[in-house]
Amino acid sequence: MTNSDTYLQCDFHVHTRYSPCAQSDMLPGSIIEAAKEQGIKYLGLVDHIFGFTDASILKSARKDCPPDDGSIEVFFGCEADVLSVGKTTVTQEMMDALDYIMVSANHFHNDWLKLVDLPESDDPQVVGKHFLKMFNYAASLEYADVIAHPFYVMPGTYDIKSIYLLTEKDIAPGIEAAAKNKVAVEISRRAITQEHVEFMLMFYRLCKEAGVKFSVGSDSHMLSTVGQMRLLVEMVEELDLRQEDFWLPRKNGGER
């Protein structure tokens, strides 16, 4: 990356139609065209690897990609789940084949198959501690490159108050672990929703101080949101993030 606005040319969180929640027109070729229209130069395709997903979808998405014409750099990643402390959906094969491993530690809305460890009750104290425990585990993973939408409380799941009960002191050890293990945290449109923003600013400030890198992603499941990174400008400026604060994947085989 060459200048401080390069993050506006990055989108490392785009789902293809192989993610069950993505729209059927999320074909890699269409995504690339949509990204180019938004001025994206570095694109990351990720698909959900839930506890029930056949990971061969990652190969299928790659196969569907049009040949590289040099106009955009496409990286292949995944959005794997932390299922519980000690267990993720990441396999050695994924680590070997992918350019980066993104993990989500808060997909608590996917509980219809009871695969993700849920908080023991809806008590905001309990829920907050659960978010923290899962985040801390994700931050401890040396093979993880990015934590997707950290501490995002999916609408309709839990009381937003849960995360606001976490103090800087509670959060600091996980952030230190992320820094030590070179795990980046994501800034996406999820972080800038009105009910999250105050917590996120506190969290991201601590991340920046600790030297944790930031990945930007749209978390797109439809073509119209691909590459919409302008939404993040206000937060990036508020945090005073500089070129060196941003994470960029390396093609697999390269050094992290």
Distances (CA, A) of 103 to 86, 88, 195, 243: 13, 8, 23, 23
Task: At 224, list the tokens.
Answer: 């119209």
Distances (CA, A) of 131 to 4, 124, 175, 206: 32, 10, 13, 17
Indicate the residue among 99 and 209 with the shorter CB distance to Zn ion. 99
Indicate the residue among 104 and 215 with the shorter CB distance to Zn ion. 104
Indicate the residue among 79 and 245 with the shorter CB distance to Zn ion. 79
Euclidean distance between CA atoms 256 and 254, whole angstroms: 6
Other Cβ atoms within 10 Å of 237 Cβ, number: 9
Q: How far is the CB of 22 from Zn ion (least distance, A)?
A: 9
Residues 128-157 that bind Zn ion (CB under 5 A): 148
Q: Which stretch binds Zn ion (CB under 5 A): 21-29, 115-123, 137-145, 216-224?
A: 216-224
Q: How far is the CB of 75 from Zn ion (least distance, A)?
A: 15
Indicate the residue among 34 and 180 with the shorter CB distance to Zn ion. 34
DSSP string, 125-163: HHHHHHHHHHHHHHHT-TT--EESSTT---TTTS-THHH
Q: Would you count residue 219 as binding Zn ion (CB under 5 A)?
A: yes
Q: How far is the CB of 149 from Zn ion (least distance, A)?
A: 6
Site string for Zn ion, 32-71 (x = CB under 5 A): ----------------------------------------
Distances (CA, A) of 124 to 13, 14, 177: 29, 31, 24
Q: How far is the CB of 69 from Zn ion (least distance, A)?
A: 26
Contact 229, 10 (CB under 8 A): yes
Q: Which stretch binds Zn ion (CB under 5 A): 3-11, 169-177, 195-203, 211-219?
A: 211-219
Residues 79-118 that bind Zn ion (CB under 5 A): 79, 104
Residues binding Zn ion: number (CB under 5 A):
4
Other Cβ atoms within 10 Å of 95 Cβ, number: 14
DSSP string, 199-216: HHHHHHHHHHHHT--EEE
Residues that bind Zn ion (CB under 5 A): 79, 104, 148, 219
